[in-house]
């Protein structure tokens, strides 16, 4: 009865220890779940991390079960040792009783007993000892499996943390690249707009200059014609003044010459004013050097945009590769959790982790962008 009470109390202590370890494991798992929810960037990564947590939870539960079994087997072994000690004590007491009864026996019986004692005793193993040995071997195998599983879980968790850190770094790099690309696109758009406006102004100035040059040529031709007519009129007037008295026709010719001279002077004045305005406009407008500088800035902005686009594409590919590796690690955790109950019946050494897949080939460069300005 005393042994039964001690065994019952010992089993209760083992169950309390296993429940406390399970509670601590569940608290650790809840903390890990909250940490994963705070740090996970997307729904896919949340689902993958949840799968990892479920797999690790199953492994921890399996380990707690193994610990409980180990404690039970340990208690059984201790009880068997106590039972064996009691049996040995009883045997010693029986031997003492037999030694005390030897003087009361006949000498013939003493000779038979001495002959029996002189014979070598065959060691008969006790069934409790066999059970203890079997339990010891089973406990050693379970401890080895537990150690292998804990090492595998720790390695997978370290790999998972590394992959999560890499994913966070890649996401930060992607965000910085997107911001830089947005700024470069904004500057490129501003440069395109400025160059387009400069080209429009230059074309307008050229058209206006051509029109004014045509007007100037027409004015010069008209002025020459008027000068020739004025000279002819002067000659005719001089001839008429020398030869005859002034008449009505001569007066009309003189009036026409006067009007022509006035119009010629007005045209000359207008032409001078237009030329002066054109010179001022050409001085204020950007020259070919400014246009070349704008074109150079536009080319550099396009090159920077293409370079940032390549970097962004490479970062997205690396992020996809890391997510694929995280998925493979999740599958490995599931396989480890599934193989844990099978390893109790057939212990198999843990298989090594597969090597990561080779990186995919780099993407082809994007085609050069063509703008209407070029």
pLDDT for 234-256, tens place per residue?
Answer: 766 666 666 544 455 556 666 76
User: Domain of 291?
Assistant: 287-334
Number of domains in the chain: 1
Q: Is residue 32 part of a domain?
A: no
Q: Is residue 6 part of a domain?
A: no
Q: What is the pLDDT of residues 202-236, one digit of tens each?
A: 888 888 888 888 888 888 778 777 777 777 777 66
Q: Is residue 151 part of a domain?
A: no
50 with 102: CB under 8 angstroms? no
CA distance 61 to 358: 35
CA distance 299 to 283: 27
End-to-end Cα distance, the chain: 102
Q: Is residue 326 part of a domain?
A: yes
CA distance 157 to 159: 5
Residue 365, token pair as written in the block: 């460069």
Instruction: Assign 371 to helix, strand or coil.
Output: coil
Q: Is residue 330 part of a domain?
A: yes
Q: Is residue 97 part of a domain?
A: no
CA distance 276 to 269: 11
CA distance 178 to 158: 30
Q: Is residue 301 part of a domain?
A: yes
What is the CA 354 to chain-centroid distance, rounded?
A: 23
Q: Is residue 328 part of a domain?
A: yes
What residues of the chain score a pLDDT lower than 50?
A: 1-4, 8, 19, 21, 23, 25-27, 31, 116, 118-124, 244-246, 343-374
DSSP result, 53-74: HHHHHHHHHHHHHHHHHHHHHH
CA distance 105 to 46: 86
């Amino acid at each position: 009865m005393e042994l039964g009470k001690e065994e019952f109390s010992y089993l209760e202590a083992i169950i309390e220890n296993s429940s406390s370890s399970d509670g601590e494991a569940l608290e650790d798992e809840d903390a890990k779940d909250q940490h994963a929810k705070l740090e996970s960037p997307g729904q896919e990564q949340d689902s993958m991390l949840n799968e990892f947590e479920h797999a690790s939870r199953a492994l921890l539960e399996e380990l707690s079960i193994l610990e409980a079994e180990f404690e039970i087997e340990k208690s059984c072994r201790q009880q068997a040792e106590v039972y064996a000690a009691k049996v040995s004590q009883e045997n010693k007491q029986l031997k003492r009783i037999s030694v005390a009864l030897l003087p009361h026996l006949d000498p013939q019986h003493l000779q038979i007993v001495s002959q029996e004692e002189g014979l070598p005793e065959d060691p008969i193993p006790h069934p409790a000892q066999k059970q203890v040995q079997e339990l010891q071997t089973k406990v050693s195998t379970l401890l080895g499996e537990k150690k292998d599983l804990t090492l595998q879980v720790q390695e997978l968790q370290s790999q998972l943390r590394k992959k999560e850190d890499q994913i966070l770094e890649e996401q930060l790099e992607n965000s910085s690249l997107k911001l830089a690309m947005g700024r470069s696109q904004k500057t490129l758009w501003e440069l395109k707009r400025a160059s387009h406006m400069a080209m429009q102004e230059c074309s307008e100035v050229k058209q206006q200059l051509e029109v004014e040059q045509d007007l100037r040529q027409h004015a010069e031709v008209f002025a020459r014609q008027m000068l020739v007519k004025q000279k002819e009129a002067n000659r005719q007037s001089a001839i008429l003044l020398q030869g005859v008295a002034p008449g009505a026709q001569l007066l009309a010719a003189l009036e026409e010459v006067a009007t022509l001279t006035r119009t010629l002077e007005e045209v000359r004045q207008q032409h001078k004013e237009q030329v002066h305005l054109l010179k001022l406009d050409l001085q204020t407008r950007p020259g070919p050097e400014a246009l070349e500088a704008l074109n150079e800035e536009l080319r550099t902005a396009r090159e920077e945009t293409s370079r940032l686009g390549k970097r962004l594409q490479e970062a997205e590919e690396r992020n996809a590769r890391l997510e694929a590796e995280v998925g493979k690690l999740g599958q490995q955790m599931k396989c480890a959790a599934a193989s844990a109950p099978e390893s109790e019946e057939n212990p198999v050494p843990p298989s090594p982790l597969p090597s990561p897949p080779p990186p995919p080939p780099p993407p082809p460069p994007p085609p050069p962008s063509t703008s209407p300005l070029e």
